[in-house]
């Protein structure tokens, strides 16, 4: 028989990297087990990519449909994880007191944010790998270099994460769930994901181009479809959204 | 002599126009179990949450392990375990995962498996938390508070909603924590928790400390013992009283149930039984009782039901 483990005081925080890795692993496991999240982040984008590439339902302009669609669907995937998924998950974590309880552990707040960021990045890598493989199977031939793509995806992730946290910080969990899904659908339709913004009248188009989803899909398309270097205008729109949403989120976010 | 684990002085906290804590003071000695006992809405949770660093007081001070709960938060977090009154458990994660994650945030945690077995959660380790019963959730919350081997734990209503077995298991665990050197500050509105566990009881009402001391000290104040018996209704109590030592009281409530308070000793007992014999009264269920913590509590906080 072994002796009973000690309950006696021996306090101390784990090393920070171990805390962040443990928290990230936990968030990732919970997320990948969540059916609704997977529907939003993988199933819907993949179905849209396959359906609209194979069937000429919408006019995507000159060129092969998949070359237009793949960058837009990647933008949609980034939005679904960084914005929709994160807003919903964070809203419920607050409602269930999970954020409050974590606040009583040695994990610092920025350690929690680091874990959430790492989780979003890991999911995006999985999404982009799967969606790119499907697109290539459908005949996608991306042009451009990888670096501007990485920069745009990072800027898009930052903007959408900040917007997601802003929404989760001001709305109740149930309202966040509804609003985040609504925004997903509206931006899917209006953000240059499935068809070009040139279908809209000029005045509306220039307003829609300022949406973060349009900036990301347009920027990715400029690189991947047309071989542009770094599309500064699109990047600038994303960075402005990041700055505004991050400041607002920092001012309004409540941990409980 | 070690510094107190918690030192709260003249603490005030208002929510809008409502004053939740109104100048509350107490001290929790290091290595002891201190129970904040009070009715719902007395300000216990607010006090504890100020000590945990979740809320900022509007007046007075709280020191935890000699430190400021908010300014020194980073130094305190690893040393202080927290059991929230409710919530804090992610419903979609599995029980074992949640506890193992909590363990991995500390340098030398208690073995998670051991705690699961100890708290009767071994069979539920692979179940998602949303499927736990209220009592199981409560026990997981307790495990999360102590897994980091803290110097001090705050337990907010640790036995609320537990069945008798789980309650006993919680008592044993909390008692063992104290024996191994952990300071415990708990809130409760169950007399039995305070009576069984606490070295020091702080009775709180309307945001103030109304009495404090060990359970023995609290129950020995005022009338120490009482004598009760049942007999036929409407005995002539004035006549009985005249036979008793001065300062005694006697009352009948409800009909046929008699309560005598005062210097309840061998002499008084003999006088009462002799008086009964001379009046052909059979005193049934005759017993001498000590004043309980519940009597003290109800005397101090009132017997009427409260809203909330």
Residues 6+ away with beta carbon under 8 Å from A174: none
A98 neighbourhood in chain B, CB within 8 Å: 87-90
Q: Is the CB of A98 inside 8 Å of chain B's CB atoms?
A: yes
Q: Is the CB of A10 inside 8 Å of chain B's CB atoms?
A: yes
Name the closest residue on chain A to residue B100, using Cα atoms: A22
Rounded to the nearest 5°, which phi and psi values hold at B303? -100, -10
Question: Closest Cα to residue A105, out of A27, A31, A17, A14?
Answer: A14
Per-residue pLDDT at B305 = 67
For chain A, which residues make up each domain, given as ranges? 16-252
Q: Is the CB of A93 inside 8 Å of chain B's CB atoms?
A: yes
Mark yes or no for CB contact B90/A18 under 8 Å. Answer: no
Residues of chain A with pLDDT under 50: 1-2
Tokens 């363990």 locate to B103
B65 neighbourhood in chain A, CB within 8 Å: none
Which site among B92, B118, B180, B182 would you substitute to test the A interface, given the most A Cβ atoms closer than 10 Å to its Cβ? B92
Asked whether the beta carbons of B37 and B191 are under 8 A apart, the reply is yes
pTM of the model: 0.86
Per-residue pLDDT at A2 = 47
Q: How far apart are CA B244 and CA B271, in angstroms?
A: 7
pLDDT digit of tens for each residue in chain B (308 aa)?
Answer: 578 999 999 999 999 999 999 999 999 999 999 999 998 889 999 999 999 999 999 999 999 999 999 999 999 999 999 999 988 999 999 999 999 999 999 999 999 999 999 999 999 999 999 999 999 999 999 999 999 999 999 999 999 889 998 999 999 999 999 999 999 999 998 888 998 999 999 999 999 999 999 988 888 765 567 888 999 998 888 888 888 888 888 888 788 999 888 888 888 899 999 999 999 999 999 988 877 788 788 878 776 666 65
- ipTM of the prediction: 0.87
Mark yes or no for CB contact B148/A105 under 8 Å. Answer: yes
The whole-angstrom distance between A45's CA and the closest CA on chain B is 24
Mark yes or no for CB contact B88/A29 under 8 Å. Answer: no
Per-residue pLDDT at B224 = 64
Element (H, E) at B217: helix B215-219
Go through the domains of chain B in sequence order and give each one's CATH number.
Answer: 6-219 (3.40.50.300), 225-290 (3.30.70)
Rounded to the nearest 5°, which phi and psi values hold at B218? -65, -40
Per-residue pLDDT at A187 = 94
Asked whether the beta carbons of A104 and B79 are under 8 A apart, the reply is no
Tokens 């199977």 locate to A137
Which site among A25, A35, A105 would you substitute to test the B interface, given the most B Cβ atoms closer than 10 Å to its Cβ? A105
Mark yes or no for CB contact B54/A256 under 8 Å. Answer: yes
Mark yes or no for CB contact A6/B102 under 8 Å. Answer: no
Burial class (CB in 10 A: 0-12, 13-18, 19+), A185: exposed
Q: How far apart are CA B268 and CA B29, in angstroms?
A: 40
Question: Closest Cα to residue B141, out of B164, B163, B159?
Answer: B159
- When CB atoms are compared, the residue of A5, A22, A107 closest to B114 is A5
Residues 6+ away with beta carbon under 8 Å from B144: A101, B81, B83, B88, B89, B98, B99, B102
């Amino acid at each position: 028989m072994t002796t009973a483990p000690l309950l006696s005081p021996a306090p101390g925080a784990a090393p920070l990297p171990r805390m962040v890795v443990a928290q990230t692993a936990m968030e990732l496991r919970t997320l990948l087990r969540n059916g609704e999240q997977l529907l939003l982040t993988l199933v819907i984008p993949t179905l849209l990519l396959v359906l609209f590439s194979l069937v000429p339902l919408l006019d995507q302009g000159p060129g092969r449909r998949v070359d237009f669609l793949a960058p837009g669907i990647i933008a949609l995937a980034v939005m679904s994880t960084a914005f929709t998924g994160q807003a919903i998950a964070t809203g419920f974590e607050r409602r269930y007191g999970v954020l409050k309880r974590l606040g009583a552990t040695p994990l610092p707040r920025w350690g929690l944010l680091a874990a959430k960021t790492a989780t979003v990045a890991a999911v995006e890598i999985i999404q982009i790998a799967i969606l790119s493989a499907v697109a290539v199977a459908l005949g996608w031939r991306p042009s451009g270099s990888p670096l501007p793509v990485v920069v745009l995806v990072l800027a898009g992730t930052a903007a959408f994460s900040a917007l997601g946290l802003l929404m989760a910080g001001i709305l109740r969990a149930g309202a966040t769930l509804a609003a985040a899904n609504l925004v997903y659908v509206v931006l899917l339709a209006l953000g240059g994901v499935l068809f070009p913004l040139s279908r809209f009248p000029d005045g509306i188009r220039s307003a829609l181009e300022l949406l973060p989803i349009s900036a990301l899909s347009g920027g990715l398309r400029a690189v991947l479809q047309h071989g542009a270097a770094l599309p500064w205008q699109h990047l600038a729109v994303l960075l402005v959204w990041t700055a505004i949403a991050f400041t607002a989120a920092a001012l309004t976010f409540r941990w409980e | 002599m070690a510094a107190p684990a918690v030192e709260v002085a003249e603490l005030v906290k208002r929510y809008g126009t409502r004053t939740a804590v109104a100048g509350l003071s107490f001290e929790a000695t290091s290595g002891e179990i201190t129970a904040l006992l009070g009715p719902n809405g007395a300000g216990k949770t607010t006090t504890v949450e100020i000590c945990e660093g979740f809320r900022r007081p509007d007046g007075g001070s709280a020191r935890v392990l000699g430190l400021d709960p908010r300014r020194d938060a980073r130094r305190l977090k690893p040393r202080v375990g927290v059991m929230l009154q409710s919530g804090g458990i992610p419903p979609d994660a599995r029980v074992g995962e949640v506890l193992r994650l909590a363990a991995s945030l500390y340098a030398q945690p208690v073995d998670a498996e051991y705690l699961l077995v100890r708290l009767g959660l071994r069979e539920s380790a692979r179940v998602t938390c949303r499927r736990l019963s209220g009592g199981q959730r409560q026990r997981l919350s307790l495990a999360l508070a102590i897994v980091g081997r803290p110097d001090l734990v705050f337990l907010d209503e640790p036995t609320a909603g537990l069945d008798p077995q789980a309650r006993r298991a919680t008592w044993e665990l909390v008692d063992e924590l104290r024996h191994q050197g952990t300071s415990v500050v708990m809130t409760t509105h169950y007399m039995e928790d305070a009576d069984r566990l606490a070295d020091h009881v702080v009775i709180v009402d309307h945001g103030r400390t109304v009495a404090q001391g060990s359970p023995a000290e609290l129950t020995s104040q005022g009338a120490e013992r009482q004598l009760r018996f049942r007999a036929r209704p409407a005995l002539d109590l004035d006549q009985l009283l005249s036979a008793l030592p001065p300062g005694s009281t006697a009352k009948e409530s409800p009909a046929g149930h008699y309560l005598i308070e005062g210097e309840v000793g061998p002499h008084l007992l003999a006088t009462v039984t002799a008086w009964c014999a001379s009046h052909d009264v059979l005193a049934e269920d005759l017993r001498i009782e000590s004043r309980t913590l519940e009597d003290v509590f109800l005397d101090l906080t009132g017997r009427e039901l409260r809203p909330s």
